[in-house]
Amino acid sequence: MHSFRYVQNRMLCESVDLEALAQKHGTPLYVYSKETITDHFKRLDGAMDSLDHLVCYAVKANSNLAILHTIAEMGGGFDIVSGGELFRVIKAGGKAGNCTFAGVGKTRAEIEYALKEGIYSFNAESEAELRLINEVAGAMGKKAPVALRVNPNVDAKTHKYISTGKSENKFGIDFDRMLEAYAAAAKECPNLEIRGVQMHIGSQLTSIDPFIEAAKKAVPLVAELKKRHDIKFFSIGGGIGIVYHESLDSGDVNWWGDKPAEERPLTVQSYANALVPILEPLKLRILLEPGRFMVGNAGALLTKVLFLKQGNAKKFVIVDAGMNDLIRPALYEGWHQIAPLQKSTNTTLEKVDVVGPICESGDFFAQDRELQPVDAGDTLAVLSAGAYGFGMASNYNSRPLAAEILVDGKEAHLIRERQTLEDLIRGEHVPRDDKEGK
């Protein structure tokens, strides 16, 4: 579902008028719907009910404390990729014991921190990493719970930058080397407790087929590892794709109706219907690591039109948000629907590029897009920006980070203050000759 829709030609998030929010807090402004996040969590959790399972939200998709708290409150676990993400989860009220720690480059300090806090499992991505975890655990007098990430060499059929399950990707251990890697860990690493297996083939998958192919390939291996090493869990990763073309006139989750397959999302039901029968015979705890599915449709980036510019080739709508606020179009050719907060009754459309103020040609939100004519001062919503939006934001061009709002029914909570100019230079020092500055 999504919770952004027009009511009497004004865009609301749940019951909150977005133009009023933009006036109060300024733009660029990220706005998230709590209703969508809880709905998505509960639907996925419910669809997997017949299995012993834990939904571990992939924190990287959006790591604001209020979002993590929302998920922790529902009993969710977390998939983290850094010590910083673990710190956030704990601050938000999440349990380290419900966290898995992914990533190809964990540092000694991060491993020590995660062991001290008692995470559920390190999902290790190389033998070298296993040896380091073993060494750190030994020095701390602990046993480290570990899983290895298998690279099943399956094509996720998504953008090459978010495809992770092919042999040429840096992630995981090659499928045919897994038994050997587990045997070596069992033999040579006395401070490890071999607890599971992990897999994640990519992000924004819109077809169930690669998930099925990967699961069918992995399940016999996982069963064998259960026999040999008594593993307890299998994490099937994240990757469930979302619809970036929203319907703003209907909150109906089935609005895509008869759209072609590539424009339809996976539904949680079709995902569960396909995967549960493949996973069930393992009789293991199944972990899921959804990121985008949980928060993607839950967020919008509000931005104000600064200027209109007619060039020889194109008309540009220049807005006050940039690629530093939302980098998906520049980074992975991500497509976002853009809609004005006030819908015009005039149905004529004009073709424009919606661009930001940053000095890069890649700084755009849409190219050759048919939009209702807009004027300077209008506010636009860049929709489905809740995942990999703020989390990837930067201060490039010395632009302060945007504020974030969590809407809950009629309430709008400020969950991150807009950065100030002073915030921009916090911690920086100019070397001086005098001792004071050193």
Please give the residues from 366 up to 405 whose contact with ligand PLP meets the rule CB under 6 A. 387
Q: Is 260 exposed, middle or buried (0-12, 13-18, 19+ CB in 10 A)?
A: exposed
Which residues on adjacent β-strands are paired with residue 300? 31
**Segment (H or E) for 316:** strand 315-319
The pair of three-digit structure tokens given for residue 361, joined into one six-digit string: 């040609």
Which of 203, 384 has the CB closer to ligand PLP? Answer: 203
Q: How far is the CB of 92 from ligand PLP (least distance, A)?
A: 18
Taking CB under 6 A as the criterion, the residue among 77, 145, 172, 237 binding ligand PLP is 237
Binding map of ligand PLP across residues 32-61, x = CB under 6 A, - = no contact: --------------------------x--x
Please give the residues from 76 up to 115 whose contact with ligand PLP meets the rule CB under 6 A. 79, 102
Q: How far is the CB of 15 from ligand PLP (least distance, A)?
A: 28
> How far apart, in whole angstroms, are the C-alpha atoms of residue 231 and residue 96?
20
Binding region for ligand PLP (CB under 6 A) out of 21-29, 91-99, 231-239, 400-408: 231-239
Supply φ then ψ for residue 266, to 5 degrees.
Answer: -70, 140
Binding map of ligand PLP across residues 267-306, x = CB under 6 A, - = no contact: ----------------------xxxxx-------------
Distances (CA, A) of 360 to 139, 306, 364: 48, 17, 9
Q: Are 222 and 195 in contact (CB under 8 A)?
A: no
Q: Does the active-site annotation cover 359?
A: yes
Q: How far is the CB of 237 from ligand PLP (least distance, A)?
A: 5
Which of 134, 235 has the CB closer to ligand PLP? Answer: 235
Taking CB under 6 A as the criterion, the residue among 203, 206, 303, 337 binding ligand PLP is 203
> How far apart, in whole angstroms, are the C-alpha atoms of residue 196 and residue 232?
6
Q: Are 237 and 291 in contact (CB under 8 A)?
A: no
163 contributes a contact to ligand PLP by CB under 6 A: no
> How far apart, in whole angstroms, are the C-alpha atoms of residue 71 and residue 432?
47
Which residue in the list 13, 99, 189, 359 is annotated as catalytic? 359
Q: Are 437 and 431 in contact (CB under 8 A)?
A: yes
Q: Are 124 and 149 in contact (CB under 8 A)?
A: yes
Q: What are the catalytic residues?
A: 359
Which chain residues interact with ligand PLP by CB under 6 A? 58, 61, 79, 102, 200, 203-204, 237-240, 289-293, 387
